[in-house]
Each structure stands twice: as structure tokens, then as C-alpha cells.
């Protein structure tokens, strides 16, 4: 018996040693980066394009395996502030920087329109089978607190034959600095002088009525959980959460549903103006087929990049986004850029520099 034990000990010791070495090797592999030399870009900002940006970043990893892009969906206002503070490599906003905000940035910022999107009027009306129609006057009246119930004559007049519930309207809006709010309030200011004079437009406003939700996600959640609620959210959020949304009467007098095609019509009408400045509003476009509550969303980057490797990675990603990345927009309910805007974007991306030298060589 003792002889057998003496013979087994060396074998057991060898097995234990081999297991320990294998475990160490496995841990070492787990701790090592998946892709040697990977470069990480960080961004933050708008929730409006987040469904598309998530898709873009995942697809771009397949094209450029050494680049990782981390993005925080915190709202346009937060994205602008983080870019200003230098804590991210790029910001994202549905609200372009004003001239005053541009001057307050530590260095010149370039706006890259990425896609256009629709802000829809989502509502929670139990038992309603037909799509609601809303006029500009009704939408402004609701958000001014003048229209308080769903059976108000100013709503029923544009919905003949539709039985609306006898419910109080629970108004919902964004609580954070928001590009979606920027688009929506610019629309309200364009269609209502009372709104323009009393409230105005911006990423944040002093709302006359309603409760706030953080991000498109927050407003979507409040509307979904509250019978009688109304709120404004990006189209993809409404569709993904199966929220009902309204057709809105546009500047040509037609009730238009928010779709990729109707958002594209609004975007296409702005190409001429964007040759002077890409910071344009496309709300309440006069095109008969245009959905009236729409806007571009932007990625914001410093023209002069401090880190050449990161600067090149950002520029290459942006070129991919405004070209190959556009095919991912329609399935997620965003409108691809008109070709005229793609050309403007490409020129802006090629203007990015490091040490006064272009980050993207001509012809690349």
C-alpha cells in the first residue's frame, strides 16, 4: 500500500501542476485585450439617434476591428457639456450649437449632420383604434395648458367619427437638456405666436404644464404607463414600444404621418440653405409631403484634434457613417442624408486636422 502511494504522488503532483498552469494561461488570455492595439473612442449626448448609433458602432467594429466606440445616451445638453469639458472625443446633439455656444467652446467645433429623424406626438388613449389627427393649434394648446381633455372640440373637430375617451390629458415633456425638445419647441414657436412669445424654443424651456421624463426613454415610459398621456419622442422609440402616435397637419394643410419618406421630404427641402450653414431647422417645411416635426441630428467634433490616432479614427468613422452607414438608417426609421448633405459632410470631415495637417489624405 505504502509503495503504491509513493508511486502515485509524483503523478498527482504533475496533474495538479498542469492544472494550475492551464488555469494561469486561461486567466492570462481572459485579461488580454481581445484585439491587440485596440483604440477606444468615447462619445456622449443625444438619445434621439441612440438606436441608430448603437447599430453603427456595432457594425463599424466589423469594418475596423481595432476601434471601439463607447457612447453614453445622456441627452444633447449633456453631450455638449462633456465635449466642452474635454471628457469625450465627440459629442452628439439634435440641437446645433448657437453662435454664442460656439464662442464659448475651447476650440472651433465642426457639425456633422448624420441623419434626419421625426419627433412624433405619442399618446396613450385606451380603446382608440384609429390614428389620431392633430392640428398645430391643438398641439400648442395642449402644451400651453389651454386644452385639458381629449374630447375638447379643438381635437374632435379634426377627428370626425373617432370616439375619443373622456380623459384628462396628461402632458409629458423632457426634464433634461434635449435636442428632441429643441426640435419640438422650435416647431411650436413656428406655428404658435403665443408659444413663441410666452415660452420660446431651446434645449430646455420653462414648461407651462406637464411632468418630465429623462431622455426619449423616460418620456416613452411615462406615456406608456399613463392612460391619457401625450408626449414627444423620436419615431423609433414610439415604434419599438408600440405607442400610438398622431398624424400632424403640415404647412401645406395636409395631415402627414411620421415616416422615413415624410422625414426625407423635410430634410431635402433644406439642402440649399445648408450650403451656407448646416445648422438649419427643418420644422414646418412647406413641402406638401413633409412631416412637420423633424430635424437633423449632429455629431460634434473639434476641428483640430489633439491626438492624431484618435483624430484619424474619428474621421474614418465619420466618413463611413455618412456613406456606408446610411443604409442602416431606414430600417430603424431614420431618414438617410440627401446626397447634397453627404457632400457637405465629407468636406467638413476632410477639414479635420492634427498639427495643421489633414487627418484624411485626399482620395482616401
Per-residue model confidence as pLDDT tens digits over 266-282: 999 999 999 999 999 99
Going along the chain from its start, the domains and CATH numbers come out as 39-116+294-358 (3.40.190.10), 118-274 (3.40.190.10)
Task: Report the DSSP pairing between strands 39-45 and 90-93.
Answer: parallel
Write down the pLDDT at residue 73: 95
Average per-residue pLDDT in the chain? Answer: 90
Write down the pLDDT at residue 4: 37
The Cα–Cα gap between 359 and 89 comes to 15
Selected residue with higher pLDDT from 23 and 16: 23
Backbone angles phi, psi at 118, to 5 degrees: -105, 135
Write down the pLDDT at residue 362: 64
pLDDT in tens, 176-190: 999 999 999 999 999
User: Is 76 in contact with 94 (CB distance < 8 Å)?
Assistant: yes
Mean pLDDT of 307-328: 98
The Cα–Cα gap between 315 and 350 comes to 8
Q: How far is CA 208 from the centre of its chain?
A: 25
Q: Model's pTM, two decimal places?
A: 0.86
What sections of 226-287 are H helices per DSSP?
235-240, 260-268, 271-274
Distances (CA, A) of 162 to 142, 146, 157, 232, 235: 19, 22, 10, 22, 23
Report the candidate in 133, 139, 254 with the shortest Cα–Cα distance to residue 192. Answer: 139
pLDDT in tens, 59-114: 999 999 999 999 999 999 999 999 999 999 999 999 999 999 999 999 999 999 99
Give the distance between the most distant pair of CA atoms in the chain.
101
Amino acid at each position: 500500500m505504502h509503495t503504491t502511494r509513493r508511486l502515485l504522488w509524483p503523478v498527482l503532483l504533475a496533474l495538479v501542476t498542469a492544472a494550475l498552469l492551464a488555469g494561469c494561461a486561461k486567466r492570462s488570455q481572459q485579461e488580454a485585450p481581445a484585439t491587440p492595439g485596440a483604440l477606444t473612442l468615447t462619445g456622449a449626448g443625444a438619445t434621439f439617434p441612440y438606436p441608430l448609433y448603437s447599430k453603427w458602432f456595432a457594425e463599424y467594429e466589423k469594418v475596423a476591428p481595432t476601434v471601439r466606440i463607447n457612447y453614453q445616451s445622456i441627452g444633447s445638453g449633456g453631450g455638449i457639456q462633456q465635449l466642452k469639458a474635454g471628457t469625450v472625443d465627440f459629442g452628439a446633439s439634435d440641437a446645433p450649437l448657437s453662435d454664442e455656444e460656439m464662442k464659448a467652446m475651447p476650440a472651433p467645433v465642426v457639425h456633422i449632420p448624420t441623419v434626419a429623424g421625426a419627433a412624433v406626438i405619442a399618446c396613450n388613449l385606451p380603446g382608440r383604434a384609429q390614428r389620431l389627427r392633430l392640428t398645430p393649434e391643438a398641439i400648442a394648446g395642449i402644451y400651453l395648458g389651454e386644452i385639458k381633455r381629449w374630447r375638447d372640440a379643438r381635437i374632435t373637430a379634426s377627428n370626425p367619427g373617432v370616439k375619443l375617451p373622456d380623459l384628462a390629458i396628461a402632458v409629458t415633456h423632457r426634464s433634461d437638456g434635449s435636442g428632441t425638445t429643441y426640435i419640438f419647441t422650435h416647431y411650436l414657436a413656428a406655428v404658435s405666436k403665443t408659444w413663441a412669445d410666452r415660452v420660446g424654443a431651446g434645449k430646455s424651456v420653462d414648461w407651462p404644464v406637464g411632468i418630465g421624463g429623462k431622455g426619449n426613454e423616460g418620456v416613452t415610459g411615462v406615456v406608456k404607463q399613463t392612460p391619457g398621456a401625450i408626449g414627444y419622442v423620436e419615431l423609433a422609440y414610439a415604434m419599438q414600444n408600440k405607442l400610438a402616435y398622431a398624424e400632424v397637419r403640415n404647412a401645406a394643410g395636409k395631415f402627414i404621418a411620421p415616416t422615413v419618406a415624410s422625414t426625407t421630404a423635410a430634410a431635402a427641402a433644406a439642402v440649399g440653405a445648408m450650403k451656407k450653414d448646416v445648422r438649419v431647422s427643418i420644422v414646418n417645411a412647406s413641402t406638401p409631403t413633409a412631416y412637420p416635426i423633424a430635424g437633423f441630428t449632429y455629431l460634434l467634433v473639434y476641428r483640430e484634434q489633439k491626438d492624431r490616432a484618435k483624430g484619424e479614427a474619428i474621421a474614418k468613422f465619420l466618413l463611413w457613417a455618412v456613406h456606408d452607414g446610411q443604409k442602416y438608417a431606414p430600417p430603424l426609421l431614420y431618414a438617410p442624408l440627401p446626397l447634397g448633405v453627404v457632400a457637405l459632410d465629407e468636406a467638413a470631415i476632410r477639414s479635420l486636422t492634427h498639427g495643421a495637417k489633414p487627418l484624411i489624405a485626399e482620395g482616401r
